[in-house]
Amino acid sequence: MAHSPSLNYFTNLIRLLRGDCLLSPLVVSYCVTTHCNLNCCYCEDFGARRNEQQPAPLALSEARQLLGIIRTATDSLILTGGEPLLYPHIEELLACARSEVGFRHISMISNGLLLARHPAVLDQLDRLIISLDSADPEAWDQTLQAGSGTARQIHENIIAAASQQKAHGFRVVAHCVVTPQTLTQARSVLEFCLEHDIVFSFSPQSVNNWPHFDLLTANTYRTFINYIVELKLAGAPILASLAYLDMMLKFEPYACYPLLAPRILPDGTLSYPCRPIERTGDAHGGREINLLHAKSWQAALKQATTYYGVPPVRCNSCYQQCYVEPSLMQSRPLALLRELVSFAPSRYASIHTYAPG
Amino acid sequence: MSDQADCNVIIIGAGVAGLTAALHLAERGLHPLVLEADPERAGGRLKGGPPAQFEHAGQTWQFSGEHGIHAIWSPYRNLQAMLARHRIRPVLVPAQEEAWFHGEGRRVRCSATGSVLRGSWVPAPFHYLGLFARPRFWAMLNVMDFFSMSRVLLGLLASLSIDPFVEDRALPGYTLAEYCNKWTPKLVALFAGLARNFVPATLDQIPAAGFIAFLRFYTLRRRDAWAFCYLPDDGNTAIVAPMVSTLQSLGGELRLDATVTRLEQLPTGWRITWNETGAEQSAQASHIILATDAPAAEALLRASPSTAEQAAPLRLPIGMPTAIFRMWFDCPPHASKGCHNAEAGIFSGDFALDNFFWLHRIYNEYIKWSRATGGSAIESHIYGPPELLDQPDATLLAIAIADIKRAWPELEGHLIHSTISRNQATHTLPDVGRPTEHLAINTPWPELFCCGDWVRDRNPALFMERACVTGIKAANSVLAECGLKVWPLLPHPDPEPLAALIERGMRSTRLALRRRVRGE
């Protein structure tokens, strides 16, 4: 029970009522490696073209130690990258996270290209989140920029993984980054998901931590979101709350609490208080705190707040999608209640999984 | 309609409006020339100023100077979208708390207010009631204030019945003084203090149309409209310099120290004459966008033979002068003053100062200074009255220092350095004038367009967002005449459901009353 997302959720509610913004994480994302084997054109972080600039990932022993420290904050973990399947010890790390460290909810965000080489990871996962931006392999190859046939291979891997969901007890989530260019294909991704019993999630492309201008002004984008809402209300497996969908439609200000879904970089540093601020490297945030040097999550957070100050209250500085869903669910308990009442709780929709990644 | 090849555009003024117009034209392949009178910096009210420098703890410290605009508000959607589209939107610093300080002689009280307005659980337009959940806010008021509160609420609700900017309603002769009629002195002081931070004038100078527009845009219709962020650095570093750099990379040109002296209408287009670093120059343009502040626009149009006659009756919104103070202390203020460590706020009552910003909690260079020295730094503004601003610098600075020490007595004896700078009378007093007196984007003169936060336009935005919106619209007017694709504008957020319902009801009531009065 200790540090479960549900417990953290309720303690966070009390903290918010008291005006305390040092919230406990609902889920922690650990980038096991920043290396990637694709070159997605919209990716502002990684990609094969940047691999040489990226640091080496941690050794397995250090990664285990890191997981132990994360576990002092929550029992819900997302492994991501880069491409996490490029981490040399991914199977061992997942097994360790599940059995030794005791994470109860484990998700992995992957591009899916290397899935066939790592069948053992499926047994350890609750959710396998795979980026899928188009149901048309030829068109998608242009986005991936990793050679002809890459997209077709990923499609086959996704279908294969989806067919193993019941056997291995996990859910496949296809995450679609909607760009002005892929907007017309996003609907086909949605239909692909429905056909193969895959959960659909999406986020609009952001530029400079702000929604892409051409999406903000496109009627087709609004039509697409309304279509997703219709499907969700009809019971389709959409990994997005109605509040999130409404936010992605109107892009209104919302109170962002990035510490609900903090991000750990491959060397163990905490991206504080959130990715956009950390990346500026200015006085408001950064990467000074390494979890490997801390005894616990709370100790690391104390160091970070001492160095950079407390995290912002009700931040509305940007639209970093990773933080939208958990922030909305945490700050709008009635919206969460509506989700849980209206849409039967399932393995893809619960407090800790409202983080599309 | 002109061909693109025939479209050469000169933009007069390199503030937010002018740079916005220039960027939108340059993105469509035009090569606008922007003429800026300031000899050193573009940016208008976002431009920097002379740096402050002093010795402390055996080290020389230098800080950028600036005009004193810090906030980007959540309704500034077009401005933020434009910056993001060019990848020059800075990572902003979210506002945490604002405080209200009220002074009556030696008695100074304060209450945190900002987070309540944007984070209230009560929907708009009743979110102000959240203030009463703060005991310190109760303590700010007396019994008469509570009795007067219904008048305040009625005034706020009445403001929902009309949108002066969108409906183009001037409300002539109606000022904030009438708006606050029969309110208690302290409530008037609160509103006057709040208003002066946006519309810097005395109560009887502030047009009710401008004040109502301010209320509606920044707070009345949505709780989150009061959400805002600070620029992480001075305006020039954070916004203006990246905009200029982007403009130049797109083929636009900026010339500083170029004061336009005359506009001459030609059979097709205009001849613009300007003084550039002391030498007179001129050029022809197919289109002009006049993007200066209102006083400069009025002066130029009256001085130009082609426009003087029609410009004679113009009464553009006036600009107000301001004084900016900065003070550095060798220790921070106490955090436990009931203001929840507010990084900014307003003063009312017998304070001469109008507002404050603790810069060591906002700006990067000040945070670094604070970390290195344990010190703090505050910026404060005085918006008037004129007889106060007429005081010599030394007197005004002494008044400001005394006010700061009244608010934070623990800082007595800890002042390291202080500066005063003055801004010219360019801060717009928002208003809706008569159509014959108040220029819109499309002017009486062909191929001459206006933009800026003073421009008449049926858009609810104010200040930087209004400068941006009118800049885009002026660019669109040129683009349309050049046969190029115009830019879409982002709508501002709708009111919250309850506010929308009340707004509809109040508007219907107002229109019905008007019809009855007119006997229709």
Task: Give me the interface pTM, i.e. the ipTM.
Answer: 0.88
Cα A273 to Cα A11, A33, A247, A280, distances in angstroms: 19, 20, 22, 11
Name which of A279, A309, A314 is nearest B118 (Cβ-Cβ).
A314
Establish, for the pair of chains A and B, how many residue pairs have beta carbons separated by less than 8 Å: 82
Residue A1 reports pLDDT greater than 50: no
A56 vs B445 pLDDT, higher one: B445
Determine, for residues A313 and B115 on separate chains, whether the beta-carbon distance falls below 8 Å: yes
CA distance B136 to B150: 20
CA distance B425 to B239: 22
Chain A residue nearest residue B365, CA to CA: A283
Residue B178 reports pLDDT greater than 80: yes
CA distance A212 to B138: 45
Hey, what domains does chain A have and what are their CATH numbers? 5-353 (3.20.20.70)
Give contacts of B468 with chain A, Cβ < 8 Å: none
**Residues B431-447 pLDDT 10s:** 888 888 899 999 999 99
Indicate the range of A66-75, B86-95, B214-223, B310-319 predicted with least confidence. Answer: B310-319
* pLDDT tier at A196, thresholds 50, 70, 90: very high
Name residue, tokens 């055996």.
B58
Residue B297 reports pLDDT greater than 70: yes
> Mean pLDDT throughout A343-348?
58
**Residues A76-127 pLDDT 10s:** 999 998 899 999 999 999 999 999 999 999 999 999 999 999 999 999 999 9
CA distance B271 to B261: 11
Chain A residue nearest residue B228, CA to CA: A316
Which residues of A82-159 form beta strands (DSSP E)?
Answer: 105-110, 127-131
Determine, for residues A284 and B364 on separate chains, whether the beta-carbon distance falls below 8 Å: yes
* Share in percent of chain B as helix, strand, coil (round to 5): 40, 25, 35
**Residues B353-403 pLDDT 10s:** 999 999 999 999 999 999 899 999 999 999 888 899 999 999 999 999 999
Q: Name which of A91, A80, A79 is nearest A45 in CA terms.
A: A80
Q: Which residues contact B504 (CB under 8 A, 6 or more apart)?
A: none
Determine, for residues A314 and B74 on separate chains, whether the beta-carbon distance falls below 8 Å: no
Residue B88 reports pLDDT greater than 80: yes
Q: Which residues contact A161 (CB under 8 A, 6 or more apart)?
A: A112, A115, A122, A128, A130, A172
Determine, for residues B91 and A216 on separate chains, whether the beta-carbon distance falls below 8 Å: no
Distance from CA of B486 to the nearest CA of A (A): 13
CA distance B256 to B214: 33
Contact between residue B353 and residue B404 where contact means Cβ atoms under 8 Å apart: yes
Determine, for residues A284 and B229 on separate chains, whether the beta-carbon distance falls below 8 Å: no
Chain B residue nearest residue A206, CA to CA: B84
A41: tokens are: 């054109």
A50 vs B340 pLDDT, higher one: A50
Query: Mean pLDDT over all residues of chain B?
Result: 91
Determine, for residues B85 and A209 on separate chains, whether the beta-carbon distance falls below 8 Å: no
